[in-house]
Amino acid sequence: MSHIGPTAHRFTREELYELAWSEPMTKLARRLGVSDRGLAKACTRSGIPVPSRGYWAQLQHGKAVGRPPLLQAESGLRSTVEITPGPSRSLLSHLTPEIIEQIAKQSSSEPKISVPKTLSNPHPFVRTLLERRRKERMGPVGTYRQSAPSGGAARIENRRLRILSGLFKEFEKRGHKVTADPRYKHKFSVLFGEEEIEFTLSQRHRIVEEYTQGMSTCAQRPTSELVLRIRWWLESGVRTSWADRARKPLEEQLDEVIRGFLVAREILRKHRIERQEEEQRRRVAELERLEREKREREKAQRLRGLLERIDRWRQAAGIRAYVDTVREAAKSREIKDSSHLEGWASWALRHADQIDPLVSGDPFVPERVPACREKDG
């Protein structure tokens, strides 16, 4: 298979035939970025038979199902099939043309990623995993545990570690940092600047239906296939997993994996920027809310102060008016000894001066009246 531009693919009829019968059409179409109906039509136009409805269910239940052979191309049919997916709206909405070009350049300019044949010089993280596996296999007094992986399981695990070693070294060669979670032997991370992408590389499991004493149960059974998955959710239309295929094992897909990680990095970067911008907007809105509340409190405080001083001014005016009235009443009665009255009047007038904001020096007239943003400010 060869790439045409960033998204289109070209297959020989034999390649597409094998792919069509290696996994359900919906999964294959999703990986190629087209609809399952569109992919089926492309196969039909090229004379490539595809699985019928129910084929995969019958195969999963252990029924013997065959597949029609790929006949020689009729006259007028091309020997190659071109699959051109439509643009992924989700992907294009997250990546600018400059970023897409940069990813394509980085992906194609690097040499093909090589996977070591042996584990003689593994990446440090892989060496740690090997040492842990050695300790887990050792039983009392240097004996081996019965549960130690052997045979096919050991070969699959060694292959998994070789792929990890090659992938880790490639990431670090490109200037990215690789980390591992010591609690999980299958979970790793790659740091692209501020973006951290978690991924796993493990055996693929299939759900099989088993019959025991006339009862049907479903169980997960490991296969010999390996699958690498990015653990982050990146919207539909963005590829996040790569697995062994009939004619393309995972070792031959690592360039696609690197490209997928670069796409994921840009999407996560955009998400991070959006979160930061949203957080900044939230902080600005919160500051504006606090400022509005502060202005409202200050306005209410000014109003309370004004009303309080008006009330005290009225009380003082009322005391003075009352003193004058009492004096006038005393004159009409021709009270000769007015010392007691004047003592009381002096006390009352002093109290009036104390509470009168215009006399006590507390008129509550600010040096500068605040700018009124509200009509009643």
The string of pLDDT tens digits covering residues 359-374 is: 887 776 655 555 554 4
Give the span between the Cα atoms of 160 and 149, in whole angstroms: 13
CA angle 176, 180, 183 (to 5 degrees): 165
Q: How many CA atoms lie within 13 A of 167 on its CB side?
A: 28
Q: What is the pLDDT of residue 290?
A: 96
Give the span between the Cα atoms of 241 and 228, in whole angstroms: 5
Give the span between the Cα atoms of 215 and 218, in whole angstroms: 10
User: With the C-alpha atoms ordered 233, 236, 239, 243, is the resulting torsion angle positive or negative?
Assistant: positive
What is the distance of C-alpha 286 from the center of its chain?
A: 24
User: Using one digit for the tens of pLDDT, what is the confidence trace for 34-76?
Assistant: 778 878 888 888 889 999 888 888 888 888 888 888 888 777 6
Q: What is the domain partition of the chain in residue ranges? A: 1-66+77-86, 286-360
Give the span between the Cα atoms of 263 and 6, in whole angstroms: 12
User: With the C-alpha atoms ordered 74, 76, 82, 88, is the resulting torsion angle positive or negative?
Assistant: negative
Give the span between the Cα atoms of 202 and 121, in whole angstroms: 21
E strand intervals along the chain: 2-4, 8-12, 80-83, 177-180, 187-192, 195-212, 215-230, 241-243
Q: What is the pLDDT of residue 146?
A: 47
Give the span between the Cα atoms of 370 and 309, in whole angstroms: 19
Low-confidence residues of the chain, pLDDT below 50? 1-7, 87-92, 108-110, 144, 146, 148, 373-377
Give the span between the Cα atoms of 376 and 302, in whole angstroms: 12
Q: What is the pLDDT of residue 299?
A: 93
Question: Token pair of 285, please?
Answer: 């809105």
Give the span between the Cα atoms of 31 and 15, in whole angstroms: 15
> For residue 258, which of 237, 232, 224, 230 has the smallest C-alpha distance?
230
CB 16 within 8 A of CB 43: yes
Q: What is the pLDDT of residue 204?
A: 84
